Structure 1
Amino acid sequence: MTTSDDALTYVYAAAPLETGLQDALSGLRGIYGSPVLFVTAPPGADPGPSPPLAFATSHVPRRDFNESALKNHFEDLEWLEDVARAHHDVVQALSTHTTVLPLRMATVYQDDDRAVQALAEQHDAFAERLAQLAAHTEFGVKIYLAPTAAPPDTGPAADADTGAATNPGKAYLQRRRAQHNAQEAVYGQAQQAAGIVGAVASRYASHHVRHPAQSGALTGPAENVLNDAYLVPEAYAEEFRAAVEEAVGAFDGIRVEVTGPWAPYSFAMPPAEPRHPATGEEPGS
């Protein structure tokens, strides 16, 4: 296990060292087109029946992934998108062959030996989580509200009390009130749909995570009001998707999006801060 002086060891995920992992790595390329390799560490004192674990890794340029470079890169959206896509593609490729525990993007170590040491230190925690994720997959369920347009200005209308034409200010307020009422009705539909999604999903999913609603460029003109993730046994994956889509198909004014299957990003425990980061210093020192 070697790493050149001008490279760091980038870690995508942890996985059992089984035939599936080695099959997945054959010809797989990661960040900057670098080959995806693996490093292993011996299990703890009481490994039990579980196989040894491996980190899926690549060697990446130190100039781009050292601590100071990452601080600058995290403000470069184009660079971030490219790295995130490569990271995701590797994790997804692994997940089609074996159980995988995704690690946080930009988890890097000084060299392969440091990565092995980190894997050994966290071996038992990783093994326990991988056992819980085995034969499961992640689905996302999002609910969006379609934008509610303001009612058109149809000119002066008769006042309901006097029969006289309303003035422009009062007509504007009436239109705004109508828009507000329509939006409230749509929110009510979304709330009802969310309750149904939760009830249906609970029949299939073993775990559930509620993420913050998305906003901005991620959603476009629609408003995201629900952003949930479900961990579903692979045997029920298609039943889960079909049941959720059927349960919410009759709602107007909202859009329900079911995505997946994905590698279980939402259910991977947060990795501990690397004790041997690329700088050779403890975090925060």
Structure 2
Amino acid sequence: MTSTAELAADRAAPAAGAWLHGVVRDADPAALAAIPGMDGAPVRTVSAAGLVAVVSTAPLDEYGEQPLRRNLEDLAWLERAARTHHAVVEALARQGPVVPARLATVHTDDSRVAESLAARRAELVATLDRLTGRGEWGVKGYLVPGAAAASAAAVGGGGVGTAYLRRRRAQLTAREEGQQAASAAAEAVHASLCELAVAGRRHAPQDRRLSGVATPMVLNGAYLLDLAALPAFTDLVRALSDRHPEIRLELTGPWPAYSFVAERPEPALTVREPW
């Protein structure tokens, strides 16, 4: 017989959902035991339809729809959640192909996760097949202030005021021409990289406060590569850097293939079923 105290404890315990990190073909239990999830405990798996979803236990008093909506407006909470989620996805990607889930994808229980795997099996298997033996690399390009501004130092006649106006006009013209040249170089670099990559995407340039670089970003590219093509891709980035001195290129990766996983249209925030 269940005691009154046990019933009270059951009523007090918050319902737990499942925060989805990603889907894989299989997972090593020993490796998962070393990966902390959203609640600090090791991540766990939900298996169905020959696939494995890696999830964190997510108490719905913190990760349910209304609490989650409030928490996502808390930048400190959001940063911690994003870092934890990304760390799990990165750990999975080191073991093999993974279909990463969008941040804050929470199912109300494990059965909903299993239903989602079954419903999307064909799509998920096709994506995992596409990502096998491949990885995502990023190439960022930053404007390099050019020597064109040197012409702004020339001062003609007409007095100090006229000289200042001429110098200022030349500076603005040089800056505009430099930005146009950098934009054209970014287009050319992206096109060249896409020829070697399986697929490529251009994301919006990051704000300087996010990039941490003083000069503007003109290229924020993501490229899906066969692992065997990485040396040639790295050489190409170096060659393009020499060919286009208007921009400084930075190669990063490998990353989980966030940029090459199809996303269905959906609200920005969810406690979701199905996924």
Give the TM-score of the pair, scaled to structure 1. Answer: 0.79
* 2:43 pairs with one of 8, 28, 36: 36
CA distance, structure 2, for counterparts of residue 109 and residue 212 of structure 1: 30
Give aligned pairs, total. Answer: 258
2:104 alignment counterpart: 106
CA distance, structure 2, for counterparts of residue 278 and residue 5 of structure 1: 15
2:23 alignment counterpart: 14
Amino acid at match of 1:92: E
1:176 alignment counterpart: 168
CA distance, structure 2, for counterparts of residue 252 and residue 123 of structure 1: 46
In the TM superposition, what are the counterparts of 1:143-158 in structure 2 within 5 Å? 143-146=141-144, 158=156
| DSSP-derived class of the 2:103 partner | strand
* 1:165 pairs with one of 155, 159, 166: 159
Amino acid at match of 2:190: G
1:245 aligns with 2:238: yes
Cα 1:171–1:8 change in 2 (3 A) is: farther
2:70 alignment counterpart: 72
* Cα offset, 1:5, TM superposition: 4.3
Unaligned runs of 5+ in 2: 1-12
Q: Is the 8 A contact 1:15 1:21 kept in 2?
A: no
In the TM superposition, what are the counterparts of 1:111-130 in structure 2 within 5 Å? 111-130=109-128
* Cα offset, 1:244, TM superposition: 0.9
Amino acid at match of 1:13: G
Amino acid at match of 1:222: T
2:189 alignment counterpart: 197
CA distance, structure 2, for counterparts of residue 70 and residue 174 of structure 1: 56
More helix by share: 2
Q: Is the 8 A contact 2:145 2:178 kept in 1?
A: no
- Aligned-residue Cα RMSD (Å) equals 2.9
* 1:25 pairs with one of 32, 38, 45: 32
1:227 alignment counterpart: 220
Q: Deviations over 1:51-82 (max 9, x none)?
A: x2111101023222111112112221111111
Cα 1:272–1:40 change in 2 (3 A) is: farther
CA distance, structure 2, for counterparts of residue 108 and residue 55 of structure 1: 12
* Cα offset, 1:22, TM superposition: 4.1
Q: Deviations over 1:244-266 (max 9, x none)?
A: 12321354453211111111000
| DSSP-derived class of the 1:38 partner | strand
CA distance, structure 2, for counterparts of residue 263 and residue 30 of structure 1: 17
Q: Is the 8 A contact 1:142 1:257 kept in 2?
A: yes
Cα 1:23–1:232 change in 2 (3 A) is: farther
Show structure 1 runs of 4+ deviating over 3 A. 20-24, 249-253, 271-274, 277-280
